[in-house]
């Protein structure tokens, strides 16, 4: 992507939140990253998000994140838009990664500064500053899990900042979703941040959503999205219900470790997680294995096939 207009135009649809595959000794597994990205690109996903919260960026050094950006761009080229998460607790790191992401042709994704007693005025100034470091604009990531939740009124104010082209919205409360669509819909692109609650935002008017579980369940997630946007709501509801037991385990066991474990069960490489996250326990993995088998039987082999 080379311009803000292009970034706006392409920031829509179904984005895979790519987990970051590490080797047993903690290095970036570039071969697995390429395989995982090629899988969803080949299936026709609209874009890929690299190095987000479920990509474990807080546990990576700045140099590792820069290497991840460059590797992902080398893999994808310009075939699909890449969202490159440049969020950081240190504004200098965020600035440098935002500049790099833009120079590479990816859309930088920036969270609010996660420090104590930050005001809305501080947040507006922060995003205004970061937007100047990108040639093609930035995507705001409203990430309540990091510690700050942006209100609809603040998001509306942020949408007026030159260079803000999109929002990845993590607070998917129905009232909040309605307010965001009403206040900034059409002005900036709006993506739902999670596949754990995607039907409502898309039906309400979001431009798309990002999905971590599409690393492990790409057929089900993509089928649900296609049904939604084509108006086949009964099909979308049915597909969404099929993997409800797995969503429950994701909520109970945590992400991205559950998604990585599901990838293992399909014979794909998610790799280990980094501290402070922990892999699933033997009991949790046994429960996941049993649940995956049940979901696979219900969904059918075309939607979910497990490794032998």
Active site residues: 141, 168
d(CA 294, CA 287): 11
**With 0-12 CB in 10 A as exposed, 13-18 as middle and 19+ as buried, what is 119?**
exposed
Side-chain half-sphere CA neighbours of 269 within 13 A = 17
Is residue 210 within a helix (H) or strand (E), and if so which, with residue range?
A: strand 208-211
d(CA 240, CA 299): 11
d(CA 88, CA 95): 9
In 3D space, the residue among 131, 122, 130, 143 whose CA is nearest the CA of residue 194 turns out to be 143
d(CA 167, CA 279): 31
Q: What is the DSSP letter of 159?
A: T
d(CA 72, CA 63): 14
Q: What is the DSSP letter of 162?
A: T
CB 114 within 8 A of CB 89: yes
Is residue 131 within a helix (H) or strand (E), and if so which, with residue range?
A: helix 120-131
Cα distances (Å, whole numbers) of residue 65 to 59, 87, 174, 187, 197: 10, 11, 34, 30, 28
CB atoms within 10 A of CB 159: 18
In 3D space, the residue among 227, 214, 220 whose CA is nearest the CA of residue 270 turns out to be 214
Judge if the upstream peptide bond of residue 276 is cis by omega within 30 degrees of 0. yes
């Amino acid at each position: 992507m080379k311009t803000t207009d292009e970034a706006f135009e392409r920031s829509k649809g179904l984005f895979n939140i790519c987990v970051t595959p590490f080797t047993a000794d903690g290095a970036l597994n570039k071969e697995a990253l390429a395989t995982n990205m090629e899988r969803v690109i080949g299936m026709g996903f609209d874009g890929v998000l690299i190095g987000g919260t479920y990509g474990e960026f807080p546990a990576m050094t700045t140099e590792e994140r820069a290497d991840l950006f460059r590797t992902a761009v080398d893999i994808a080229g310009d075939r699909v838009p890449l969202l490159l998460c440049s969020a950081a607790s240190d504004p200098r790191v965020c600035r440098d990664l935002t500049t790099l992401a833009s120079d590479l042709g990816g859309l930088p994704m920036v969270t609010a500064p996660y420090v104590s007693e930050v005001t809305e005025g501080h947040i507006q100034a922060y995003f205004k500053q970061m937007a100047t470091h990108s040639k093609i604009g930035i995507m705001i990531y409203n990430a309540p899990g990091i510690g700050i939740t942006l209100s609809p009124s603040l998001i509306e104010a942020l949408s007026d900042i030159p260079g803000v082209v999109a929002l990845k919205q993590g607070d998917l409360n129905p009232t909040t979703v309605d307010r965001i669509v009403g206040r900034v819909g059409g002005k900036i692109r709006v993506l739902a941040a999670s596949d754990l609650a995607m039907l409502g935002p898309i039906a309400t008017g979001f431009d798309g959503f990002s999905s971590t579980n599409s690393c492990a369940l790409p057929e089900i997630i993509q089928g649900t999205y296609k049904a939604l946007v084509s108006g086949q709501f009964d099909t979308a509801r049915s597909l969404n219900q099929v993997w409800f037991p797995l969503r429950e385990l994701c909520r109970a066991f945590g992400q991205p470790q559950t998604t990585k474990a599901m990838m293992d069960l399909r014979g794909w490489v998610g790799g280990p997680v980094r501290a402070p996250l922990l892999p699933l326990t033997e009991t949790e993995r046994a429960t996941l294995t049993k649940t995956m088998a049940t979901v696979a039987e219900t969904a059918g082999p075309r939607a979910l096939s497990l490794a032998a």
